[in-house]
Amino acid sequence: MTRPPRKGAPGRRRHPATRRPVLDGARLTAYDVLDAVSSRAAFANLLLPQLLRERQLDPRDAGFATQLAYGTLRAQGTLDAILTGLVSRPLSELDPRVLDLLRLGAYQIVDLRVPSHAAVDTTVDLTRAIVGTGASGLVNAVLRKVAAGGDRAAWLDTLAAEGDERLALATDHPRWIVDAWRDALDDDGELETALLADDAAPEVHLVARRMDRTALAEESGGEPGPWSPHAVRLGGGDPGRLASVRSGRAAVQDEGSQLAALLLTRAPLEGPETAWLDMCAGPGGKAGLLAVRRPDGVRLTAADRAPHRAELVRQALRDEDDVEVLAADGTQPPWAPGSFDRVLLDAPCTGLGALRRRPEVRWRRTAADVAPLAELQTDLLDSALRAVRVGGVVAYVTCSPHTDETVAVADAAAGRDDVEVLPVAPLFPEVPGIARGEYGQLWPHRHGTDAMFMALLRRTR
């Protein structure tokens, strides 16, 4: 991790030409996020808040660092397309640090209103400090060419991409994800709007668990969410500074994820109920909401295959009574068949519906990831249906709209002779545009949420 030179540090005076530049804290923080994502597959949404707290950037610089880091990660495909024509060798042959610095500088020129001389000069200073003087010459020359090419609209004309290739570059999505979103949308006319919404910086969503959400809205300065009775939406800021979040009475959770948990609670059930299961519960957000929504006398079991994620669930449920947290593989569960009345299966998926909050995932995932994940989802859904008693319900959820890991998996289960599908839309009459056939689908451009898919299945015998 790069450390900026200390301002005003005592020592021998240097000639101006050899003096180390005073690095911009926001840009240095953004670079460190890019470097961590590139070099050790870090997740920006986990690392950046940690760096902002450690470095104590003022709110303005923290906001700029966030915009730079997330924006550069989202725009990577378009930035690379621009840089490819300006660098004399393949980008893959560049020092990865230099490539990240070029992306950071190019993003400021192409997408932000940062004066080009400031974007170039500050990036050259970073390069000199991080990589060395030799690389700074390359960065200086390339970024000046980027600046000469104009803003994003001008560069899209220069790249001369057409059709879906242009749409992919304009909305910062790999082409295969553009195809997947087109397949999932009923109306092709919505595609560009949906992709642009998926490329926009999201609001912060909070969930009021053990407190009134009006009080949470007053504490945070946010507004009640339009769909979930537990949701509060913030325009920005650090929710970790809120006392209610630090105490666990509230938490950060996308409003779509809240609806996914509420789906399980709203499903009509035949017979009495005593036990609920959250089968892939890590890190515990939905389990936390289920814990406060369950009727008295209902025991909640929350399981996750990864021990460290099960520990996160345990932390999220630390103040709840009558809960059990297990580190357990849902495909080989320790519980007996028919043990539960309601089961939530928030299955591992590509995460294509949550790209707003995890910007680097769009470039990390490939189309080849879908098939093995769909196979795992099918196995987990079969296991969930075994875990629920006759008359009980399973809510199958993914944070993806991709047809192969949503409708196709649910349809395969619905084809069994011991399963019936319960329509999702009637359970959310306050949420327009949620129906995807008998299933449910939330969208960033319609609902301001992650693109969550939801299916509700009942065991009939």
pLDDT in tens, 414-449: 999 999 999 999 999 999 999 999 999 999 999 999
pLDDT below 70 — which residues of the chain?
1-22
Instruction: Write phi, then psi, for 304 (nearest 5 degrees).
Output: -150, 145
Between CA 164 and CA 338 the distance in angstroms is 47
Q: Cβ(300)–Cβ(339) under 8 Å?
A: no
pLDDT of residue 22: 61
| pTM for the predicted model, two decimal places | 0.90
Q: Cβ(304)–Cβ(282) under 8 Å?
A: yes
Handedness of CA 89, 92, 93, 98 (dihedral sign): positive
Q: Cβ(231)–Cβ(258) under 8 Å?
A: yes
Catalytic residue among 384, 399, 409, 442: 399
Between CA 46 and CA 131 the distance in angstroms is 25
pLDDT of residue 45: 87
Q: Cβ(109)–Cβ(123) under 8 Å?
A: no
Between CA 132 and CA 280 the distance in angstroms is 46
pLDDT of residue 21: 57
Question: In terms of residues, how long is the chain?
Answer: 461
Helix spans in 111-201 (H): 116-130, 133-148, 152-159, 163-171, 175-184, 191-199
Q: Residue 280 catalytic?
A: no
Structure tokens at 269: 């059930």
pLDDT of residue 271: 85
Helix spans in 267-301 (H): 285-293
Q: Which amino acid appears at position 187 of this protein?
A: D
Between CA 95 and CA 35 the distance in angstroms is 11
pLDDT of residue 160: 87
Between CA 215 and CA 343 the distance in angstroms is 31
Structure tokens at 456: 């509700």
pLDDT of residue 186: 77
Between CA 251 and CA 207 the distance in angstroms is 5
Please, which residues have CB within 8 angstroms of residue 368's CB and are 6 or more apart in sequence?
Answer: none
Helix spans in 185-303 (H): 191-199, 213-220, 243-247, 255-266, 285-293
426, with CB counted inside 10 A (0-12, 13-18, 19+), is exposed
pLDDT of residue 29: 96
Q: Cβ(431)–Cβ(444) under 8 Å?
A: no
